[in-house]
Amino acid sequence: MIPRWSRTLGNHLYRHSNTGISRDLYVLPCRRISKIAAVETPVASNAFVKSEVNLNKLFRSKPCSLALPPDSPLRIEEPIYKGLRRFLLKMMLFYSKQSKSIRQANVIYRRVVSQADKPAIYDAFRLEKTFRTNFSMLVVHMWLCLRRLKAEGKEGVELGQYVYEIYNHDLETRVSKAGVNLLLSKWMRELEKVFYGNIVAFETAMLPGAKHDDLLNAVWKNVFAEDGSSKLDAAALPAVMAFTRYIRRECICLSLTDKEAMFSGNFMFTPLDNPKP
């Protein structure tokens, strides 16, 4: 049975509230994951220059709601049926709370995948898209969504659980496509530990009493460090700082996004390919 993400997060935070988060929770086991990593594609240097210009525009802009406008072609609305079709769907529990939550969770997770799989995010932060970095991006954006949903109380936590279960199913498919067919359950257990370790690290770094560099260090260890090193590479510092600012900005933007937009999945993470000036 999949553990409830909110309960596990709470247990981790309580366990490490006085002693500090274990280093093992920060570190993604890169060497193991590299065995099933997808083919790495180097990012062109001219893309770095372009991405830096775009990021400067992004961070100068004022944080705002990520809700999609009513006329956006990207909006996904609940289908409206009438007559016999509606009666039959109602009999089949299409309109039950659980069915509606599953549909909402699917839309929310599609927003996560859309951002995590977008080439622009790897160009912007000077990352090669491998299984490891793609997994890290999934975890970061899952955490951002779960964090925002949890702010809505029990209802948000329950919806977040559906999102988490859809994520697990998708991750299993991704691991299989990456070449792991044997010991799949072992891999999934390992990645589950990494998922919880990562979100605890990020969440702890966002607490009021956290040090200014805590989030920066968590980003380095869980997203950028290929060997799990805790020592930040000076060459990667600009990209790590930029991604840290991106996370903080998305947290603010999501907090400004209304409940209806979040629950329906009608929001969109900040685009990094062409941010507004």
Which of 140-144, 183-187, 265-269 has the lowest average pLDDT? 183-187
Residue-number span of the structural domain to which 119 is assigned? 5-264
Give pLDDT, residue 39: 31
Q: Who wins on pLDDT, 140 or 229?
A: 140
Specify if 276 maps to a domain: no
- Asked if pLDDT for residue 229 goes beyond 80, the answer is no
Q: Who wins on pLDDT, 122 or 80?
A: 122
Specify if 270 maps to a domain: no
pTM of the model: 0.79
pLDDT band at 198 (very low <50, low <70, confident <90, very high): very high
Residue 196 in tokens: 């919880």
d(CA 219, CA 238): 12
d(CA 266, CA 65): 11
Average pLDDT over residues 141-145: 98
Cα–chain center distance at 179: 23
d(CA 203, CA 191): 18
pLDDT band at 272 (very low <50, low <70, confident <90, very high): confident
Contact 26, 218 (CB under 8 A): yes
Give pLDDT, residue 232: 85
For residue range 7-52, list pLDDT tens digits in order. 444 444 333 333 332 323 223 333 332 232 333 333 444 544 556 6
- Asked if pLDDT for residue 249 goes beyond 50, the answer is yes
Specify if 237 maps to a domain: yes
Specify if 196 maps to a domain: yes
- Asked if pLDDT for residue 128 goes beyond 90, the answer is yes
d(CA 44, CA 240): 18
Cβ neighbours, 10 Å, residue 92: 10
Specify if 273 maps to a domain: no
Specify if 245 maps to a domain: yes
For residue range 44-94, list pLDDT tens digits in order. 445 445 566 677 777 888 899 999 999 999 999 988 888 888 888 778 877
Specify if 271 maps to a domain: no
d(CA 171, CA 153): 26
Give pLDDT, residue 53: 62
Which of 25-29, 97-101, 102-106, 183-187 has the lowest average pLDDT? 25-29
Give pLDDT, residue 95: 80
Average pLDDT over residues 92-107: 90
What angle is formed at CA 102 by the lines to CA 100 and CA 105, rounded to 5 degrees? 110
Number of structural domains found in the chain: 1
